Amino acid sequence: MASAAKTIVATGVSSGLGFEALKQLLAAPQPYRVVLGARNTSGMDESLRDTAFESTNKVEVLPLDLADLKGTRTFAEAALQKIGDAKIDYLFLNAAVTDPAVANPRGYRWCESAVVNHVAQFYLVHLLREKLEASKARIVFVSSGAATSVPDPSLVENALSSGSGATGLSLYSMTKFVQLLGAHWWRRELTGVCDVVAVSPGLVPGTGLGRGGGISLPTGSPDAKTVPQGAQSMLAALTRSDFPEDPDRIFLTSWGEWWDKSVFEKTLDKQLQDKWSFSKEDIEKEAGILAQG
């Protein structure tokens, strides 16, 4: 008897590691219904036409530019309409950019890298929350070991501000730091209802991560992984059930272990988690959504 299809809502799966993860997902014995967001929907449709996958899988592509918070809300509404009465089994949050912190063209107080890598995807959880809770969904934040390399959290707010001029790996690390703060906040908020997991694909030189941010990943590192290996690490977060007893240990490493919380201790500061875990209303006020009614 065939397994029932599981529904996954995903960001950041239209290229690179994300697209490789999508291909591996669609090649798995378990059938999936994937509702994904993409900036270039026609390009994504073309990529899917060139990808062979079982007829038991269904992929639906919706427009999504995470730099636009209003557009993020439109995507959430469209995704919920597509899904209807079905469950959301997984929310897979993978999108990330490394653009320098120039003035935000939409007037938000955060730079675009902060919006895409953290604020918009955190907002997406707010927008889907009712359905996620009813579905007892698993929420996966694709993180990075870079989240642990922020030396001074007090510098993050200024660096992630619109027009700060921050660039490169330090900016990326800070966006991943606040993303992990948000993952911890959602874990606290949804305890006993939804599983929340952060996962690292590992050091994967063969991706387009450095585009726009001047980041160069060392190809000769002994810890370097291929794109298929990185994608496999990401997908492990969907199925692992051996959660540590300590609820703060939500970070699954690329080598398959749950990181000791001493590694990401700075992200366990609840005041920092609360600071960077914006309410739905605050985000909508920033985006001018509340003003429109």
Tens digit of each residue's pLDDT (9 = 90 or more) over 93-138: 999 999 999 999 999 999 999 999 999 999 999 999 999 999 999 9
Instruction: Flag whether 292 is in a domain.
Output: no
Domain CATH code at residue 68? 3.40.50.720
Query: What is the domain count for the chain?
Result: 1
**pLDDT, greater one: 266 or 224:** 266
Q: What is the pLDDT of residues 190-209, one digit of tens each?
A: 999 999 999 999 988 766 55
Three-state SS sequence of the chain: CCCCCEEEEEECCCCHHHHHHHHHHHHCCCCEEEEEEECCHHHHHHHHHCCCCCCCCEEEEEECCCCCHHHHHHHHHHHHHHHCCCCCCEEEECCCCCCCCCCCCCCCCECHHHHHHHHHHHHHHHHHHHHHHHHCCEEEEECCHHHHCCCCHHHHHHHCECCCCCCHHHHHHHHHHHHHHHHHHHHHHCCCCCEEEEECCCCCCCCCCCCCCCCCCCCCCCCCCCHHHHHHHHHHHHHCCCCCCCCCCCEECCCCCECCCCCCHHHHCHHHHHHHCCCHHHHHHHHCHHHHC
The region of weakest confidence among 18-32, 39-53, 232-246 is: 39-53
Alpha-carbon span 43 to 62, nearest angstrom: 12
Token representation of residue 217: 């990943």
Give me the pLDDT at residue 243, please.
Answer: 97
Q: State how far the Cα of 160 lies from the Cα of 166, in Å rounded to an integer.
A: 8
Q: Which residue has the higher pLDDT, 208 or 278?
A: 278
Q: Is residue 1 part of a domain?
A: no
- Catalytic member of 32, 90, 123, 172: 172
244 belongs to a structural domain: yes
Residue 52 confidence (pLDDT):
72
| 293: in domain | no
| Whether pLDDT at 88 is above 50 | yes
Residue 61 has pLDDT above 80, yes or no: yes
What was the pLDDT predicted at 203? 83
Mean pLDDT, rounded, of the chain: 92
Does residue 88 lie in a domain region? yes
Catalytic residue among 176, 266, 280, 285: 176
**Domain that residue 141 falls in:** 6-287
The pLDDT, as a whole number, for residue 225 is: 83
Catalytic annotation present for 108: no
Residue 123 is among the residues annotated as catalytic for this protein: no
- Flag whether 172 is in a domain: yes
- Model pLDDT, residue 218: 55
What's the predicted TM-score (pTM) here?
0.93
